[in-house]
């Protein structure tokens, strides 16, 4: 494979803060819909400002506020929810827009500290500390700060109830969702294992400094990494920590790179018919934030553009797929891929009529690839997801997917399509127009999904193959295919009504 040309070299998104180019943030990625995590900055503020800043910080996937009046057994709910998700921080002593404090609740402080042992099973791993503040009465007071680590196991309350943090809520899981979480936990904590032979001093100090500034933290790098569960109990850096802040993580994780390929033809082809542009097979390495930035620059250069009539009445070049759509797909692939699968990497394939992004690892059990808009919150790499959110290069799983759908629909293109194989997930962003709303109203529900699948497939598909990929019944798929055939959008090809090799083709 060819290395990126020198002209394509871009400054690191986590460059030295003294860099005169000012390229130390991630504004170029334009995925900034997640509010930066302000908890650390608030906790490091002067005593008179701590309470107000924490009250002004939105509750989210990683932060929750609780009243000093909460019962210790009720504190166990967010403890379990955070541990089952990506970890997070709970601050006790704030409620209803007021700083209550805990100075008159010394006994309760001890009860709160006992909550993981008394009310969660197995006990949630949490770290407690107190921070000085000034309460609403103007008196010197304290708040209780609880930092919860993401866990390798599923936790529950002592009464058997199980919770998962989703957005700003601790949602109770039913039996099936609990079972899926049990399965996912068995394969989802690779990012929390110690990276072999890596200590804090082996990380890139310039990248860590930029991250510290992004989070508003003021303490040592060790304390910052510890707060994000990027250090193992023995002080070694986790796999997530090295992937995020290593100068060249590929020395330990050779598969952790992005390969970008541009094709001249709409089909990949093989051998002498391979449609690959000889100068456009590029391997992007570096830390996760750096590789996302560099890959996005190259993809933007490679994406085909069509001349269209713009809003101002002049012809302009427009990318076949909106930038925000493929960028969300790229970010999701990097953050949520399976880094434990050796020998595989992320591939971005750019064709004249579509972009495909494939990443190692299947969807977690809580996610149904046939219904991506209904995906529940669950991150395979919770530590990586948390840091990328701090750096404003990621959104919540599900939110990023919704944004892709919004962007594709905004420009009148078909919905993103996910294909899941035994060991990977492929996202297809096709530059194909959506059906007219009046036509959709005449067709059975999910007819657009059936048509999109046929459009995205490299080969014709039979009725059973469509049913299997969309997880629909064969009769339901058959009725939709007949409806599409009646509208002149597809045609059936076979030797007889019972031909097992019969397939459906798109009409030109």
Domain boundary among 162, 183, 204: 183
pLDDT of residue 369: 60
Beta 98-99 vs 94-95: how paired, if at all?
A: antiparallel
The pLDDT of residue 12: 37
**Residue 300 within any structural domain of the chain:** no
Buried b or exposed e, range 298-318, using 16+ CB within 10 angstroms? bbeebbbeeeeeeeeeeeeee
Q: Position of tokens 């995590």?
A: 37
pLDDT band for position 211 (cuts 50, 70, 90): very high
Using pLDDT thresholds of 50, 70 and 90, give the confidence band for residue 204.
very high
Q: 60 lies in a domain?
A: yes
Residues 6+ apart with CB under 8 A from 79: 90, 115, 116, 119, 120, 124, 126, 146, 148, 155
Comparison of pLDDT for 284 and 152, the residue scoring more? 284
Cβ–Cβ under 8 Å, residues 120 and 156:
yes
Q: What is the pLDDT of residues 132-141, one digit of tens each?
A: 999 999 999 9
Kind plus residue range of the DSSP H or E element containing 398: none
Q: In this structure, what CATH number is given to the domain that contains residue 117? A: 3.30.950.30
- Could you give the CA distance from residue 474 to residue 485 in angstroms, rounded to a whole number? 16
pLDDT winner (highest mean) among 13-17, 124-128, 313-317, 387-391 = 124-128
6's CB contacts (< 8 A; 6+ apart) are none
Tell me the percentage of the chain whose pLDDT exceeds 90.
50
Residue 204 lies in a domain: no
Inside any domain, residue 109? yes
The pLDDT value recorded for residue 394 is 65
The DSSP result for 406-457, as a single string, is HHHHHTTBPPPEEEE-SSEEEEEEE--BPPPHHHHHHSPTTHHHHHHHHHH-
Q: Is residue 430 part of a domain?
A: no
* 385-444 confidence digits (pLDDT tens): 889 888 888 654 446 788 888 999 888 898 898 888 778 889 999 998 888 888 888 999
Q: What is the mean pLDDT of residues 487-507?
A: 90
Q: State the sign of the Cα–Cα–Cα–Cα dihedral 246, 403, 32, 352.
A: positive
Query: Is residue 244 one of the residues assigned to a domain?
Result: no
Query: CATH number, domain at 456?
Result: 1.10.10.10
**How many CB atoms within 10 Å of residue 378?**
26
Indicate whether 247 belongs to any domain.
no
| pLDDT at 307 > cutoff 80 | no
pLDDT tens digit sequence for 332-352: 899 988 888 777 899 999 999
Q: Which of 116, 148, 183 is the last residue of a domain?
A: 183
**Of 31, 112, 34, 39, nearest in space to 69 by CA:** 112
Task: Report yes or no: 360 and 345 within 8 Å, Cβ to Cβ.
Answer: yes
Residue 195: Cβ-neighbour burial (10 angstroms; 0-12, 13-18, 19+): buried
Contacts of 215 (CB under 8 A, 6+ apart): 36, 37, 40, 41, 224, 390
Rounded alpha-carbon distances, angstroms, from residue 396 to 35, 51, 288, 379: 11, 26, 17, 9
> How many domains, in total, are found in the chain?
2
Task: Decide: 29 and 393 in contact? Cβ < 8 Å.
Answer: yes
Number of H helices, E strands in the chain: 16, 20
Model confidence over 351-363: pLDDT tens digits? 999 999 999 987 7
**Is the per-residue pLDDT at 22 higher than 50?**
no
Which tokens in the block code for residue 196?
């072999």
pLDDT score of 2: 41
Determine the Cα angle at 201 with ends 199 and 206, to 5°: 130
What does the pLDDT read at residue 288?
96
- The reported pLDDT for the residue numbered 315 is 67
Q: Is the pLDDT of residue 14 over 70?
A: no
CA distances from 489 to 396, 451, 508 (A): 36, 8, 8
The domain of 445 spans 435-508
Residue 301 placed within a domain: no
Look-up of token digits 């057994």: 73
Q: What's the first-to-final CA gap in the chain, in angstroms?
A: 36
**Number of Cβ atoms within 10 Å of the Cβ of 273:** 9
Q: What is the pLDDT of residue 311?
A: 65
Residue 269 has pLDDT above 60, yes or no: yes
Domain-terminating residue out of 118, 151, 183 = 183
Separation of alpha carbons 271 and 257, rounded Å = 25
Q: Which of 488, 479, 370, 491 is nearest to 439 (CA)?
A: 488
Helix (H) or strand (E) holding 112: helix 106-119
| Mean pLDDT across the chain | 84
Positive or negative, the CA dihedral 304, 458, 482, 367 is negative
pLDDT (0 to 100) of residue 368: 58
Residues 482 and 443 sit within 8 Å (Cβ to Cβ): no
């Amino acid at each position: 494979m060819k290395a990126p040309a020198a002209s394509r070299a871009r400054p690191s998104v986590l460059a030295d803060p003294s860099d005169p180019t000012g390229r130390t943030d991630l504004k170029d990625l334009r995925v900034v819909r997640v509010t930066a995590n302000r908890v650390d900055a608030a906790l490091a503020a002067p005593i008179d400002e701590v309470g107000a800043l924490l009250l002004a910080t939105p509750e989210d996937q990683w932060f929750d506020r609780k009243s000093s009046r909460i019962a210790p057994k009720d504190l166990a709910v967010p403890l379990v929810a955070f541990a089952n998700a990506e970890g997070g921080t709970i601050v006790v002593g704030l409620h209803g827009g007021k700083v209550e404090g805990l100075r008159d609740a010394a006994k309760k402080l001890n009860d709160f500290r006992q909550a993981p042992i008394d009310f969660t099973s197995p006990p949630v791993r949490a770290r407690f500390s107190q921070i000085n503040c000034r309460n609403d009465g103007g008196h010197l007071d304290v708040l209780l700060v609880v930092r919860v680590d993401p866990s390798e196991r599923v936790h529950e309350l002592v009464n058997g109830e199980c919770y998962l943090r989703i957005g700003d809520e601790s949602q109770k899981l039913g039996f099936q969702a609990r079972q899926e979480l049990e399965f996912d936990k068995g394969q989802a904590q690779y990012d929390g294992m110690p990276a072999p032979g890596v200590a804090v001093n082996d990380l890139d100090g310039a990248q860590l400094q930029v991250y510290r500034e992004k989070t508003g933290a003021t303490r040592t790098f060790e304390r910052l990494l510890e707060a994000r569960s990027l250090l193992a109990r023995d002080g070694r850096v986790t796999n997530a920590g090295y992937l995020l802040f290593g100068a060249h993580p590929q020395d330990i994780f050779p598969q952790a790179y992005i390969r970008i390929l541009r094709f001249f033809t709409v089909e990949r082809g093989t051998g002498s018919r391979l449609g690959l542009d000889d100068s456009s097979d590029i391997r992007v390495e570096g830390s996760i934030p750096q590789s996302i930035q560099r890959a996005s620059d190259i993809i933007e250069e490679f994406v085909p553009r069509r001349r269209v009539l713009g809003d101002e009445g002049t012809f302009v070049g427009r990318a076949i797929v909106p930038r925000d759509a493929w960028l969300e797909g790229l970010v999701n692939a990097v953050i949520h891929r399976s880094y434990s699968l050796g020998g595989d990497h992320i591939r971005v394939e750019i064709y004249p009529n579509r972009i495909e992004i494939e990443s190692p690892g299947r969807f977690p059990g809580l996610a149904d690839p046939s219904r991506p808009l209904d995906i529940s919150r669950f991150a395979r790499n919770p530590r990586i997801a948390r840091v990328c959110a701090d750096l404003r290069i990621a959104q919540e799983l599900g939110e990023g997917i919704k944004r892709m759908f919004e962007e594709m629909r905004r420009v009148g293109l078909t919905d993103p399509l996910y294909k899941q194989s035994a060991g990977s997930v492929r996202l297809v962003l096709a530059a194909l127009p959506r059906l007219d709303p009046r036509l959709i109203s005449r067709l059975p529900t999910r007819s657009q999904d059936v048509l999109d699948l046929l459009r995205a497939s490299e080969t014709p598909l039979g009725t059973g193959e469509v049913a299997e990929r969309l997880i629909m019944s064969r009769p339901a798929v058959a009725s939709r295919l007949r409806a599409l055939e009646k509208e002149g959008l597809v045609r059936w090809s076979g030797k007889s009504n019972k031909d097992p090799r019969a397939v459906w083709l798109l009409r030109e």
